[in-house]
Amino acid sequence: MDLEVMRGLSTKAETKVLLLVLDGLGGLPLTPDGLTELETAETPNLDELARRGVCGLSTPVAPGITPGSGPGHLALFGYDPFRFEIGRGVLEALGIGFELLPTDIAARGNFCTLDPKTRFITDRRAGRIPTEVGTRLCDKLGAITLPRVEAIVQPVKEYRFILVLRGEGLEDGLTETDPQQVGVPQLPVQPTRAEASGTANLLNQWLEKAHELLADEHPANGCNLRGIARDPGLPQLPDIYGLRCGAIATYPMYRGVAQLAGMEVLATGDSLEDEVDTLRTHWSEHDFFFFHVKKTDTAGEDGDFQRKVEVIEHFDQLLPGILALDPDVVIVTGDHSTPAVWKAHSWHELPVLLWSRYIRPDEVTAFGERPCMTGGLGHIHHTDLMPLAAAHAGRLSKFGA
């Protein structure tokens, strides 16, 4: 949907929308005749909500396209991921609570191991050094100075950090240095637009100085810069829908994308129970909550079918406590599929469950990929979810006379 159309239709109401996102929820059977993770899980509460609600399958980005977490969440929040793009540097920066300015250029940094003689990359993650080591190295790199601009370095986790250039005249449109394989040299940062050549030069100067400072370190004697970009300046959800939006997520990237969309990111503990507590504490303050469950995806990526089943079951046990808050609209889905058998994000559609007092009921009585195939929502797209949520919340006026 065109966001300007939505902005024009949105209207006030005293209703609350709850978007429950189980990251990587969609799955596949382990054997041809088997069940998916969600179908295997004992989910009496999700099943009951499916019975009372309406189900379907949703394509996160486009048929056959496997979304990264950024595009997957953009689509969930109603943004066309082909039109709006977020650099990974920006996401990581916001995710650690870094206050990014609209003119900043942010890069995700990865410490890596370089062959001392050839300078070829031998390990793209520097043996996954612990966070303490990464933090010490970031302190070291923080001393680098560049002409006219500030170069801020902040650790993220393990081998990952962010580099933010701050100052006048910085431009985006910059390529990554990570060749995505070992046994080859790093790539220089290159401008994809003429205006960005100055910024590319600054980043290459920074890299040179970084490698001097890291020369005696082991295994992290080098670093790569990826996803170099600035804040894409997304239209803000509170402006579009008139919703006060709160985000509950434990992992930096999801907190980052929620903030970019204009949500208030709420401080929360790490466990699912903590997240539910956070939701309860802030329930009166917001009209829309994005509630993110990370561990379904982690288990899928690890190829651990059973652990993914258990995370889903854990979430199911907490669902009654969530529903007791009495939301007006509930959506349960994921940002993309992460089948344990595929051990990575995949292109498969997501099961979607929509409940409100005004849904049109279907015959689905269990929440699972197969039941959702014949659900009343049919096959939709993630960008349909926000308009559907707003409509069911009585927050969209009539289009046209």
Binding site for a second copy (CB under 8 A): 1-2, 5, 9, 26, 28-29, 32-33, 36, 52, 57, 61-71, 81-82, 85-88, 91, 108, 226-227, 339, 341-342, 344-349, 358, 360-363, 369-370, 373-376, 378-380, 384, 386-392, 396-401
* Residues 301/303/307/311 CA torsion (nearest 10 deg): 30
Give the nearest distance from C-beta 71 to a second copy in angstroms.
4
DSSP-derived secondary structure for 148-164: SSEEEEEEEETTEEEEE
Give the nearest distance from C-beta 239 to a second copy in angstroms.
18
Q: Which is nearer to a second copy, 203 or 388 (CB)?
A: 388
Q: In whole angstroms, what separates CA 158 from the centre of its chain?
A: 19
Specify the DSSP element, H or E, that contains 312: helix 305-323
Give the nearest distance from C-beta 5 to a second copy in angstroms.
7
CA distance 191 to 173: 6
Q: Which is nearer to a second copy, 230 or 345 (CB)?
A: 345
Q: In whole angstroms, what separates CA 272 from the centre of its chain?
A: 17
Q: Which is nearer to a second copy, 147 or 400 (CB)?
A: 400
Give the nearest distance from C-beta 41 to a second copy in angstroms.
16
Q: Which is nearer to a second copy, 64 or 147 (CB)?
A: 64
Give the nearest distance from C-beta 323 to a second copy in angstroms.
14
Give the nearest distance from C-beta 28 to a second copy in angstroms.
6
* Residues 91/92/94/100 CA torsion (nearest 10 deg): -90
Residues pairing with 165 in the sheet: 105, 151
Q: Which is nearer to a second copy, 8 or 269 (CB)?
A: 8
Q: Which is nearer to a second copy, 321 or 378 (CB)?
A: 378
Q: In whole angstroms, what separates CA 372 from the centre of its chain?
A: 24
Q: Are 67 and 81 in contact (CB under 8 A)?
A: yes
